[in-house]
Amino acid sequence: MPSRDLSFPVFDADNHFYEPKEALTKFLPEHRKGVIDYIDVRGRTKIMVRNVVSDYIPNPTFEIVARPGAQEEYFRHGSGGKSFREVMGKPMKSIPAFRNPEARLEVLDGLGLDYTLMFPTLASLVEERLKDDPELILDIIHGLNQWMYETWQFNYEDRIFSTPVINLAIVDRALEELDWCLQRGAKTVLVRPAPVPGHRGTRSFGLPEFDPFWDACVKAGIPVSMHASDSGYAEYLNDWEPGDEYKPFKPTAFRMVAMGKRPIEDTMAALVCHGALTRNPDLRILSVENGGSWVPYLFYQFKNVYAKMPQEFPEDPIQAFKRCVYVAPFWEDDFKKMADLCGVDRIIFGSDWPHPEGLSDPITLVDDLERQGLDEEGVRKVMGGNMIDLFKVPNEIVHRPDVPALVLT
Give the DSSP H/E element, type plus range, for residue 278.
helix 276-279
Look at residues 111, 123, 118, 107 and name the one whose alpha carbon lies nearest to residue 49.
123
Give me the torsion for CA of 129, 135, 141, 145, rounded to 10°: 180
Look at residues 332, 164, 212, 191 and name the one whose alpha carbon lies nearest to residue 268.
191
Q: What is the pLDDT of residues 46-99, one digit of tens each?
A: 999 999 999 888 889 999 999 999 999 999 989 888 988 899 999 999 999 999
Question: Which class does domain 11-391 fall in?
Answer: alpha beta
pLDDT of residue 19: 96
Bridge partners (DSSP) listed for residue 15: 118, 353
CA distance 199 to 362: 42
CB-hemisphere CA count at 13 Å for 67? 18
pLDDT of residue 246: 63
- The answer to pTM > 0.75 is yes
pLDDT of residue 56: 84
The parts of the chain modelled with pLDDT lower than 50 are: none
Give me the sheet containing 115-119, strands edge to edge. 11-16, 115-119, 160-162
pLDDT of residue 249: 67
CA distance 278 to 311: 14
Backbone φ and ψ of 167, nearest 5°: -110, 135
pLDDT of residue 1: 85
User: Do 318 and 303 contact (CB within 8 A), yes or no?
Assistant: yes
- With DSSP H G I counted as helix, E B as strand and the rest as coil, what are the percentages for the chain, rounded to 5? 45, 15, 45
CA distance 334 to 371: 10
Alpha carbon distances (Å) from 38 to 28, 59, 61, 147, 163: 14, 11, 9, 17, 24
pLDDT of residue 128: 92
Cis peptide before 354 (omega within 30 of 0): yes
- Inter-axis angle of helices 211-220 and 171-183, to 10 degrees? 10
pLDDT of residue 245: 67
Residue 4: Cβ within 10 Å count: 14
Q: What is the pLDDT of residues 277-329, one digit of tens each?
A: 999 999 999 999 999 999 999 999 999 999 999 999 999 999 999 999 999 99
Look at residues 12, 324, 17, 364 and name the one whose alpha carbon lies nearest to residue 164.
17
CA distance 198 to 133: 7
User: Do 409 and 389 contact (CB within 8 A), yes or no?
Assistant: no
pLDDT of residue 198: 92
CA distance 122 to 19: 7
pLDDT of residue 408: 84
Give the DSSP H/E element, type plus range, for residue 264.
helix 262-273
Domain ranges across the chain:
11-391
User: Do 54 and 157 contact (CB within 8 A), yes or no?
Assistant: no
Residue 39 zone, left/alpha/beta (φ > 0; ψ -120 to 50; rest): beta
Give the DSSP H/E element, type plus range, for residue 202.
none
Q: What is the per-residue burial (b if ≥16 Cβ within 10 Å, else e) of 209-240?
A: ebbebbebbbebebbbbbbbbbbbbbeebeee
CA distance 197 to 128: 9
